[in-house]
Structure 1
């Protein structure tokens, strides 16, 4: 009954108290808890109805069948699977764990990835967006703290100037404040009218193409080095049966997009050097002896300086926009003995950002429509309102006049994406400030897939009970989402939190026993 202790915390609504107490007083309360265990920590679980069939795994023979009407709440609960921590912390926690394994396996091997990849050269690169106008920022020239998570170092002035002037719109062009880490001004422009909101949202929209070309440029740079150093190409047979000569080195990557406070994305990328096996294109082999991590480092910097993308013409800008990386391109080497950059820390860092979205900017909404856009977009509003307005305005149908920012009568949001307009995605992803890419992507050869991890987890759960001689096959249909009452949500989420805490303590105890045994 420890779950009921959570009901006595101050501040709980009386209605939720009553609902929870009513549920807890039912005769089958613990049966209900067990029934909801699979989705207990989910904020808005999916409710499914239908039939559940018991089948013998070896023969496929149907042993029994029952309907969900016989179950508690007459439904089956399934976790929503949302990756965003702001939407569902429990499902995001599971996703972060999978993301950690995806990233870590590409560095150290495991889960069908050869352990030999741990010896491959790897760099951790950060690609940032360029400046679209000065914004309030917090910069610490030199850290003297011992723990960055509890950093108490004094930051430098935001935008110190010898001569304090004003911009063309009369706003101060300097800021001498030393901003705190939680200062709401961080990421906001010094002058909203000087800031190029249009260019930023277009940069977000086309940053994926910029990365694709950058990756190609890195591989071309390494291929040229191979020719100069006398490392011959490799002759391989493709899946279609054709014989081709390919460079002897290739780059596999894992990439996470992070939204900055100003609303521009930047990319954290792990780049691993692999060789090519002429007999097996899918094998992970080390790169040729003549290519080192120094060459990969140089290739990243060279590609970041050279590659630009010019967007297609737009009615508001016939020459298009130039899309390029910012001046800050940071490249660090993994596995070189530097204690600050280890594979575990990098994997945890990327997994953390894989569950985030636009929360750091202060904006968090679902996809915007013509009915909801007015609540968020304002050409004369604050920084976020102007970014969203720029997305909606630039993403209009190409035949719409510049002055008309509204959606034409009778045109649905889905119709705007089917007219050959390369900027139509700005409206579709206006709630993401123009960025429509995945927040965690990887090369096919880099590591395992999320699907493999989910399938492995499902297989483990099916075989967890050695005494079970049947498996359950469901024929289910969606009937709704969310818990039936706030009291049910409180009880289920509290039970899940307690289960996670017990699991965490158990892992710590096992780790302590293992360490104690080794020390002894």
Structure 2
């Protein structure tokens, strides 16, 4: 089952809104899942209802809209057709919630992940409006890590012998081994051991937890999480400047580019583009995984994606990224707790690997790896919550509590200062307030274009999403005069039937895809 049906309680959790009408079965109180499902399945228009909710069938908490959908002629403004939701099953339109987090809505997160894969891969292989020539551009896959804020339990496998990393059962190294004669093997000042000989399994709950909670620098970590987007911005600037200096050293001519105002300006002949994903690790600190591609500059079309000039390649891009990762650093604004501010830098482990069509790191592997993290948030840390306020903060923050509770407490404590109030705003994200997936403008297509293409395909597949609505006609404009009617399925039976139908459809699609792949 794709949705968590326990969150839908008919007759108890029906949000109110314009046009909201409670389900008849809900008016008498709680209705059993089997009874409500049987009632729905025996209605004369059951299959019409399934087709009506198909777009949101797998969603855990769909949005329900009511009102009117109008089709208007773009040229004359004439109303060509109008469809009222009153004439549809349930009198409402069901739309998926669109949440990207797998822990909130697995179905919508799956759609988001597939879109993220297409977006990221198009920037490496072409397609979706991106020229196929980008496959020959120099590109690297980079992992930027955070510095250490204290010793945590880790699982390190130095040599993999498994065939599938997703089900890795290779023997890990000891967590933090120390010889008895090593001075660092002595217990810390709080009496906690600084040695761990355990070979942790992948699901060990101790992974990511500090060996000593009292020694860990929680304030520095939440400040680093909060400052990570700014550190990334400065890093992209440093990469660009290093590439420009390299182009100048190679004697590559600057490009005379015509601006929109008709003036001519001279610009560097190379320009990096990127797509990146933020990963929240088990120790609750953000890491960045990024694809950085090297492009050239077109003299008359600033938006064109062209290859870089000859003479500058992937080795120069690797050198630029490594230089930026080592050189970029800044100090935050002062805080009463730390008047000198916190020094923000990348960690020592920065991995830069070239991407090639037939090498170990390919465009498909990179896109799949990044898309996987695009649907995750703080779940790996053991903390999941919505935005926190003063009424609920005591439920999540504790300066003497667990690892996540101490991080939330650090955000709330530091955020009490006037210049650091944003830390309280992002306490539920353990200080991180950036986007989990971003890209430069020229790197690839956009999520909106992918969503619009999916909507157009769905309308073409079903014939008409709304009555009398022309498909693919650029002369018409579809205007939705809709208002919010509620969220969630009306009954647990509706959720059960819709999610089951969606799961069966997904299974058929996966089988068909596997058969097509095997035949190819």
| TM-score, with length taken from structure 2 | 0.88
Distance 1:252 1:217 in 2: 13
Deviation at 1:64, TM superposition (A): 4.5
In structure 1, what is the equivalent of residue 492 of structure 2?
Answer: 486
CA contact (8 A) 1:311 1:320 kept: yes
In structure 2, what is the equivalent of residue 309 of structure 1?
Answer: 330
Three-state SS of the structure 1 residue aligned to 2:368 is helix
Does residue 437 of the first structure (1) align with residue 439 of the second (2)? no
Deviation at 1:439, TM superposition (A): 0.6
Distance 1:360 1:299 in 2: 32
Distance 1:136 1:72 in 2: 54
User: How many residues end up aligned between the 2 structures?
Assistant: 480
Distance 1:285 1:29 in 2: 53
In structure 1, what is the equivalent of residue 399 of structure 2?
Answer: 379
In structure 2, which of residues 439, 443, 450 is the aligned counterpart of residue 446 of structure 1?
A: 443
Q: Which has the higher contact order (CA 8 A, sep 6+)?
A: 2
- Residues 1:183 and 1:52: Cα distance change in structure 2 (over 3 Å): same
Does residue 31 of the first structure (1) align with residue 48 of the second (2)? yes
Q: Deviations over 1:72-110 (max 9, x none)?
A: 222211100001111001111111111011101100111
Does residue 84 of the first structure (1) align with residue 81 of the second (2)? no
Distance 1:240 1:453 in 2: 32
CA contact (8 A) 2:176 2:196 kept: yes
Over the residues paired in the alignment, what is the CA RMSD in angstroms?
Answer: 2.0
Distance 2:372 2:402 in 1: 28
Give ranges in structure 1 of 5+ residues lacking alignment: 8-12, 399-420, 516-520
Distance 1:31 1:305 in 2: 60
In structure 1, what is the equivalent of residue 273 of structure 2?
Answer: 252
Q: Deviations over 1:400-445 (max 9, x none)?
A: xxxxxxxxxxxxxxxxxxxxx2x22211111111111111100101
Deviation at 1:453, TM superposition (A): 1.0
Does residue 93 of the first structure (1) align with residue 110 of the second (2)? yes
Does residue 147 of the first structure (1) align with residue 168 of the second (2)? no
Three-state SS of the structure 2 residue aligned to 1:145 is coil
Deviation at 1:58, TM superposition (A): 8.1
Does residue 341 of the first structure (1) align with residue 358 of the second (2)? no
Deviation at 1:142, TM superposition (A): 1.2
Q: Deviations over 1:158-200 (max 9, x none)?
A: 1111123101111101111111100000000001111000000
Three-state SS of the structure 2 residue aligned to 1:252 is strand
Matched ranges for 1:57-72 at <5 A:
61-72=78-89
In structure 1, what is the equivalent of residue 455 of structure 2?
Answer: 458
In structure 2, what is the equivalent of residue 129 of structure 1?
Answer: 146
CA contact (8 A) 1:57 1:470 kept: no
Three-state SS of the structure 2 residue aligned to 1:205 is helix
- Residues 1:336 and 1:510: Cα distance change in structure 2 (over 3 Å): closer
- Residues 1:512 and 1:177: Cα distance change in structure 2 (over 3 Å): closer
Give ranges in structure 2 of 5+ residues lacking alignment: 6-29, 471-477
Deviation at 1:237, TM superposition (A): 2.4
